Amino acid sequence: MWEQIAANRRKSFLLVVGAALLLMALGWFLGEYFGGRGFGPFGLGIAAVVWFVMTLFAYYQGDQVMLSIAGAKKVDKADLPILFNVVEEMTLAAGLSRMPAVYVIDDPAPNAFAAGRRPENAAVAVTSGLLRQLNRDELQGVVAHEMAHIRNRDIQLMLFAGVLAGAIVILAEVGLRGMWFGGGRSRSRRSSGGQDGSAIVAILAIALMILAPILAQLIYFAVSRKREYLADASAATFTRYPEGLASALDKIARAPQQLGGVTQATAPMYIINPLKRAGKAAANATSTHPPIDERIRILRSMAGAGFAAYEESYRQATGKQGVLPGSALKEDEARAPRSGEPEARDASRRTIARQVDDFFYRQGGYRRIECACGTVLKIPPDFRAPRAGCPRCGAVHELG
C-alpha cells in the first residue's frame, strides 16, 4: 500500500515541479519586464519568497483556513453519533493511526472534503445537506472516499499544489495590473532605443502573465482528477460496498443547491466539484473532477469490491488503459462485496437528519419542549408568540 502511495506521489511530484518552474519563469520575466535588463534574478527571488511564505502559512494554517472559509464547526460524538461511528469505522478500515477531527458545515448543498497536513492531524468535513440526504451506507461511502484522500496523502499534496497555483495567479495578477497602470521600465527604454531584447522580454512576460494562471489551474486539476479515481477505488475497498458511494455521488450530483463558501482554490478539495454550475462552458477541460456519471458507472459495474475490480470496470467504462497505480493492484486482496440489500427506504436517514438538525438547533439557541404526547417542539430564539401549541394533542405550552 505504501508503495502505491509513493507511486502516486511521484507522478504528482512531476506536475508540482512543473508548476514550480512555471512560477520561477513568471518571476524572472516579471523582473526583466518591470525592473529592466538584469532584474530577472530579483523577480525570481520575489516569486520564491511569495511562494515560500504562502507554503509555510498553508502548511501550518491551511486546514484551519480552509475549514473556516467553509464555515465548518467541530462536532463531538454526543452531537452526531452516527457520523462519528462511521468515521471511526472508516478510520479502522483505512488503517489510519488516529481518527480525524469531524466537522460539519451548515449548508443545504451536499458535499464533503478532507483537510490537514498529515494523516495524524487531519479533518473530515461534511455539509448538513449531505447528512440530511444520505443514508448510512452512502455516508459511509463518502467518508471512506475522504479517508482515502487522507491515507494517500492527497490532502497534503493538494495543499501544496493549490498554494503553488495560487502564487502564480497572484504574481500574474500583480504583473497585469502593473502593466495596466503603465508601469515597467521597458517602456521608457524602448523610447530611448536599444530595445530589441526588451521587446522580446516584454512579449514573453505578457504571454506568461496571461498563460501561467491557466496552466497552473490545469496542472492543479490534473493532479486532483487522478486522485479522485484512486479515492473512489479505495472507498469501495474500505466499505466493501461500491454501491454506497455510487448512490451517494448520484444524490450529490442531482442536488439543486449551490454550495457557498467555495473558491476556485478550494474547489478541488471537495468530493464533487462545488462550482459545477458556475463555469459550465469550460466544464470539461478545467474540471477538477472526473465526470460524475463516469465515476458512478465505474462503481456500479464493479464485479467485486477491490482495486482490481475497479480497474477492470474503469477500463470497460472508459476504454482507456487503466487508472490505478500498479502497486495497488498487486497488493489487492480479492475482496468480495459486502452482502446485504440496499437499505430499505433509507431508514437511517431520518435518524441522521434529526441528529444534524438538533445539533444546529442547539447551536442556534433553540428551546426544546417535549410534549407528553410524544412530539418535540423546537422554538427558535426569535419566536414572538407567548405560547406554542402541539399540533398532535392540542396541548398549549407556555413559553414565559
Partner 1 sequence: MKCPACRVPMYAVEFKQVEVDLCPDCGGVWFDRGELSLLLGVERPLETEPAATDEDARPCPLCDKTMDKLNIGPSLRVLVDRCPDCGMWFDRREVEDLGRDLRDNEVGIDPALAEFLNGVFPVKGDR
Q: With both helix axes pointing from N to C terminus, report the angle between 40-69 and 154-180 in degrees, rounded to the nearest 10.
A: 120
Q: Is 345 in the site for partner 1 (CB under 8 A)?
A: yes
The 242-271 site mask, x for binding partner 1 (CB under 8 A), equals --------------xx--------------
Q: Is 9 in the site for partner 1 (CB under 8 A)?
A: no
Q: Is 104 in the site for partner 1 (CB under 8 A)?
A: no
- The DSSP secondary-structure symbol of 306 reads S
Burial of 216 (0-12, 13-18, 19+ CB in 10 A): buried
Residues between 353 and 372 with contacts to partner 1, criterion CB under 8 A: 353-354, 357, 361, 366
Determine which residue in the list 106, 294, 343, 346 makes contact with partner 1, applying CB under 8 A. 346
**Catalytic site residue from 32, 89, 138, 146:** 146
**What residues contact residue 76 under an 8 Å CB cut-off, 6+ apart?**
84
Query: Is 32 considered catalytic here?
Result: no
Q: How far is CA 305 from CA 104, 106, 244, 299, in A?
A: 29, 33, 11, 9
Q: Which listed range, 15-23, 140-148, 321-329, 344-352, lies at the site for partner 1 (CB under 8 A)?
A: 344-352
Q: Is 190 in the site for partner 1 (CB under 8 A)?
A: no
Q: Of the two residues 41 and 389, which places its CB atom closer to partner 1 in the complex?
A: 389
Determine which residue in the list 382, 394, 398, 400 makes contact with partner 1, applying CB under 8 A. 382
Q: Is 374 in the site for partner 1 (CB under 8 A)?
A: yes
Among 351, 365, 367, CA closest to 400: 367
Q: Which listed range, 36-44, 218-226, 286-294, 379-387, lies at the site for partner 1 (CB under 8 A)?
A: 379-387
Q: Is 341 in the site for partner 1 (CB under 8 A)?
A: no
Q: Which residue has the cell 470497460?
A: 316
Q: Is 42 in the site for partner 1 (CB under 8 A)?
A: no
Determine which residue in the list 385, 394, 398, 400 makes contact with partner 1, applying CB under 8 A. 385
Q: How is residue 135 written as a grid cell?
A: 443514508
**What residues contact residue 85 under an 8 Å CB cut-off, 6+ apart?**
none
Q: How is residue 242 written as a grid cell?
A: 461500491
Tell the smallest beta-carbon distance from residue 258 to partner 1 (Å).
9
| 319, containing H or E segment | none
Q: Is 377 in the site for partner 1 (CB under 8 A)?
A: yes
DSSP 248-259: HHHHHHH-----
Q: How is residue 305 written as a grid cell?
A: 469490491
Q: Of the two residues 48 and 390, which places its CB atom closer to partner 1 in the complex?
A: 390
What is the C-alpha separation between 94 and 98, in angstroms, rounded?
10
The partner residues of 397 in beta bridges, in order of sequence, read 388
Q: Is 375 in the site for partner 1 (CB under 8 A)?
A: yes
- The DSSP secondary-structure symbol of 114 reads E
Residues between 119 and 158 with contacts to partner 1, criterion CB under 8 A: 129, 132-133
Phi, psi of 164 (to 5 degrees): -60, -50
Residue positions annotated with a catalytic role:
146
Q: Which residues bind partner 1 (CB under 8 A)?
A: 108, 129, 132-133, 256-257, 345-346, 349-351, 353-354, 357, 361, 366, 374-380, 382-385, 388-392
